[in-house]
């Protein structure tokens, strides 16, 4: 989808009179808002009783937006089914093992429940027929933040489907017993029907069962989205998406393969500005070659009955908008236009207050609109330049880390740390998943990947043999596809392919890292891998702990490239310094180039077209930043955006 850049808000016409709509739309126009997302909780409005449909309110709202020149995304509203669906039907609700979710909030239905699928399909058919060919419609968004506030469902519907899923995956129960080593604790099953869901047990569940259940949850969530998309596509040619977010209990690669456009939500704080950027680095690669969309963030602060987040500092919102557009987001959208007049999110910021006054956030949105206007011509005539560094992110790996929480750590947290280090080193980066093409990168870092699937490993080997540098680890390769332990080599297929050997895997309690040429002596955490020196160039040894003196950090030349093995996770602030040192060492050695040298906290984003290249610098930090370019040092105020260089305009008259 091409088109202009969008500056948008979420809007709830069902909560207000049409007089208020007119005020809202006038306010939108004065801010240059050209996109509205609506309908995320519309179900009880459009189907107040089962089978009685009335879409007239949303048709009028759609007409009013269209008349004002504002495009809209229609949300399917299925994140919050009405009370007639759940009343006296607890079996239709999400069950988390401690209890059943009640009506009264959102995400309370089980998305695998057959009654729910039927009710969703019935409502959606009417909805898509009523509004699917409206000239103002830009896109459909399925549900809202699927699997954000809930994870695995343990209800009876899910139990039945789990058994079917297992049968399809394993074929025979003997295969499952063998794959899961079910003899442990006499778990051996006689039929698929006996395999439990991960309900409470006196001691721990089998990790093979837990990881399989997480995968079942993610696959069926993708099927649920695909089911909705299929209904919509019968009535509407508008593209279909859903709003994901790193950390939701989803396999984003699997889910977005079945949809048209990648869209996401983020509420990262200014202190976590690297997390904000990581979103764009990830979502840009979910649907390669197409723009991604930021459909929801705050203009000032997030808030609900239990929490009020710190407001964004003045000027920061415009930096977020600038970086987002420059990193190839088609949109920058706020939740939401007008403060709710009731409900648990009355504490969340909006552009207008419930009493129709402009909020403190309004003025920040004005600055974001100015930045958009400044960048838009450049963004529209260019494409992003592909970075030379990629960090690997895997929702499957996240599922492994949820299963083995204590010994694998927070997957998302660690990948965010690595991303921040590369950003602070001043380099553009991609965040890629299993489906990515590794061609064109010079350095790829895959860490916290307990199991690496054969397809990814094949790409890694081809990449290294062709001249790339692959940092493998920490915590990579020591689990099987079934969440067990490899029985051929300690790191399974990785070791077999590359021909090195791991001597020990043991906890790193009491161990510090002694790395050649690096002053940092960081403590190490979680599992340590000690490598046999044969065939490797040792670079770091363990000091203290049960593997004192052993090599945990080494490299080997393979073909034209290099495999770097990192067998320990540096902890704390010293650990971050050591990881930064490692990142910079291999960025330097792998021949990664860059157009300019920014200080930590400044992102220099390159875009290009057939005429040449442009560089946009955005200071995401609260202090003054700098960029060195062609021997000159340019200073950037906190949150300032500047076009450093633009060679993309057509010079011919």
The residue ranges that bind Zn ion (CB under 5 A) are: 110, 112, 153, 155, 157-158
Q: Where are the alpha helices (DSSP H) in 439-491?
A: 454-465
For Zn ion, the closer CB: 221 or 579? 221
Please provide residue 326's backbone torsions phi and psi, each rounded to the nearest 5 degrees. -65, -30
CB atoms within 10 A of CB 612: 13
Give min distance, CB of 220 to Zn ion, in A. 9
Whose structure tokens read 């046999």?
A: 532
Give min distance, CB of 634 to Zn ion, in A. 55
Give min distance, CB of 92 to Zn ion, in A. 9
Please provide residue 598's backbone torsions phi and psi, each rounded to the nearest 5 degrees. -90, 160
For Zn ion, the closer CB: 155 or 225? 155
Give min distance, CB of 153 to Zn ion, in A. 3
Sign of dihedral through CA atoms 433, 229, 222, 5? Answer: positive
Give min distance, CB of 109 to Zn ion, in A. 9
The 8-class DSSP code of residue 338 comes to B
For Zn ion, the closer CB: 113 or 502? 113
Q: Which long-range contacts (CB under 8 A, 24 or more apart) does 217-220 make?
A: 217/147, 217/151, 217/152, 217/153, 217/249, 218/147, 218/249, 218/250, 218/251, 218/254, 218/255, 218/395, 218/399, 219/165, 219/251, 219/254, 220/111, 220/112, 220/158, 220/161, 220/165
CB atoms within 10 A of CB 26: 10
Using DSSP's 3-state secondary structure scheme, residue 524 falls into strand
For Zn ion, the closer CB: 100 or 518? 100
CB atoms within 10 A of CB 186: 6
Give min distance, CB of 94 to Zn ion, in A. 6
For Zn ion, the closer CB: 110 or 547? 110
Q: Is 573 a catalytic residue?
A: no
For Zn ion, the closer CB: 147 or 336? 147
Q: Is 376 a catalytic residue?
A: no
Active-site hit among 47, 91, 125, 145: 145
Work out whether strand 443-446 and strand 263-265 pair parallel, antiparallel, or are unpaired.
unpaired
Active-site hit among 296, 482, 493, 555: 296
Determine the Cα–Cα distance for residues 158 and 195; give it in Å rounded to an integer: 12
Give min distance, CB of 212 to Zn ion, in A. 16
Using DSSP's 3-state secondary structure scheme, residue 364 falls into helix
Determine the Cα–Cα distance for residues 446 and 394; give it in Å rounded to an integer: 9
Determine the Cα–Cα distance for residues 347 and 306; give it in Å rounded to an integer: 9
Using DSSP's 3-state secondary structure scheme, residue 289 falls into coil
Give min distance, CB of 216 to Zn ion, in A. 11
Determine the Cα–Cα distance for residues 461 and 563; give it in Å rounded to an integer: 9
CB atoms within 10 A of CB 268: 18
For Zn ion, the closer CB: 113 or 394? 113
The answer to whether 564 touches 555, Cβ cutoff 8 Å, is yes
For Zn ion, the closer CB: 214 or 541? 214
Q: Per residue in 50-65, is it b (16+ CB within 10 Å) or e — as a string?
A: eeebebeebeebbebb
Q: What is the CA radius of gyration of the chain?
A: 26
Please report the beta strands in 105-238, taking only residues with DSSP state E, as ranges in sequence order: 137-142
Give min distance, CB of 35 to Zn ion, in A. 34
For Zn ion, the closer CB: 108 or 420? 108
The answer to whether 338 touches 24, Cβ cutoff 8 Å, is yes
Using DSSP's 3-state secondary structure scheme, residue 466 falls into coil
Give min distance, CB of 156 to Zn ion, in A. 8
Phi-psi map region of 39: left, alpha, beta (phi>0 left; psi -120 to 50 alpha): left
For Zn ion, the closer CB: 197 or 298? 197
Active site (catalytic) residues: 145, 296
């Amino acid at each position: 989808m091409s088109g202009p850049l969008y500056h948008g808000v979420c809007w709830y016409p069902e909560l207000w009179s049409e007089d208020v709509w007119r005020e809202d739309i006038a306010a939108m126009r004065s801010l240059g808002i050209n996109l509205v997302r609506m309908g995320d909780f519309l179900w009880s409005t459009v189907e107040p009783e089962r089978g009685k449909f009335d879409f007239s309110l949303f048709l009028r709202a759609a007409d009013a937006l269209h008349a004002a020149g504002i495009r809209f995304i229609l949300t399917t509203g299925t994140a919050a089914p009405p009370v007639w669906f759940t009343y006296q039907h607890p079996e239709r609700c999400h069950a988390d093992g401690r209890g059943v979710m009640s009506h009264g909030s959102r995400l309370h239905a089980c998305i695998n429940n057959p009654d729910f699928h039927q009710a969703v399909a019935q409502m959606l058919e009417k909805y898509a027929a009523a509004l699917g060919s409206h000239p103002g419609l830009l896109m459909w968004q399925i549900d809202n933040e699927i699997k954000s506030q809930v994870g695995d469902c343990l209800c009876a519907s899910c139990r039945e489907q789990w058994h079917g899923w297992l049968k399809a995956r394993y074929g025979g129960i003997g295969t499952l017993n063998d794959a899961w080593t079910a003899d442990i604790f006499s778990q051996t099953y006689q039929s698929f029907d006996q395999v439990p869901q991960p309900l409470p047990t006196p001691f721990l569940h089998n990790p093979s069962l837990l990881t399989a259940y997480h995968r079942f949850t993610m696959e069926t969530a993708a099927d649920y989205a695909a089911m909705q998309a299929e209904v919509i596509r019968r009535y509407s040619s508008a593209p279909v998406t859903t709003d994901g977010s790193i950390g939701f209990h989803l396999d984003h690669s699997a889910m977005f393969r079945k949809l048209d456009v990648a869209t996401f939500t983020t509420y990262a704080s200014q202190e976590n500005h690297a997390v904000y950027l990581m979103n764009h680095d990830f979502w840009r690669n979910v649907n390669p070659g197409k723009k991604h969309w930021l459909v929801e963030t705050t203009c000032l602060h997030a808030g609900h009955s239990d929490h009020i987040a710190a407001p964004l500092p003045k000027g920061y919102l415009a930096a977020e908008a600038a970086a987002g557009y420059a990193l190839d987001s088609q949109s920058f959208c706020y939740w939401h236009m007008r403060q709710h007049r009731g409900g648990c999110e009355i504490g969340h910021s909006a552009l207008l207050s419930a009493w129709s006054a402009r909020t403190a956030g309004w003025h920040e949105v004005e600055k974001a609109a100015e930045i958009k206007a400044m960048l838009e011509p450049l963004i529209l005539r260019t494409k992003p330049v592909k970075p030379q560094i990629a960090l690997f992110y895997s929702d499957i790996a996240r599922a492994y880390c949820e299963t083995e929480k204590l010994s694998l750590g927070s997957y998302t947290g660690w990948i965010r740390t690595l991303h921040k280090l590369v950003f602070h080193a001043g380099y553009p980066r991609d965040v890629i998943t299993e489906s990515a093409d590794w061609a064109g990168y010079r350095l790829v870092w895959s860490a916290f990947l307990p199991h690496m699937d054969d397809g990814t490993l094949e790409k890694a080997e081809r990449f290294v043999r062709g001249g790339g540098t692959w940092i493998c680890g920490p915590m990579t390769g020591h689990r099987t596809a079934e969440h067990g332990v490899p029985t051929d080599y300690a790191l399974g297929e990785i070791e077999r392919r590359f021909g090195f050997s791991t001597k020990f895997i043991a906890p790193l309690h009491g161990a510090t890292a002694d790395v050649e040429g690096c002053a940092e002596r960081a403590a190490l955490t979680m599992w340590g891998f000690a490598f046999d020196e044969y065939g490797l160039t040792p670079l770091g040894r363990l000091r203290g702990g049960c593997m004192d003196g052993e090599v945990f950090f080494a490299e080997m030349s393979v073909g034209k490239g290099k495999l770097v093995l990192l067998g320990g996770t540096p902890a704390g602030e010293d650990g971050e310094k050591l990881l930064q040192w490692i990142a910079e060492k291999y960025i330097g050695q792998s021949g990664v180039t860059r157009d300019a040298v920014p200080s930590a906290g400044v992102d220099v984003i390159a875009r290009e077209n057939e005429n040449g290249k442009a560089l946009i610098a955005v200071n995401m930090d609260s202090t003054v930043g700098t960029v060195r370019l062609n021997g000159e040092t340019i200073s950037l105020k906190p949150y300032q955006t500047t076009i450093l260089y633009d060679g993309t305009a057509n010079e011919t008259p």
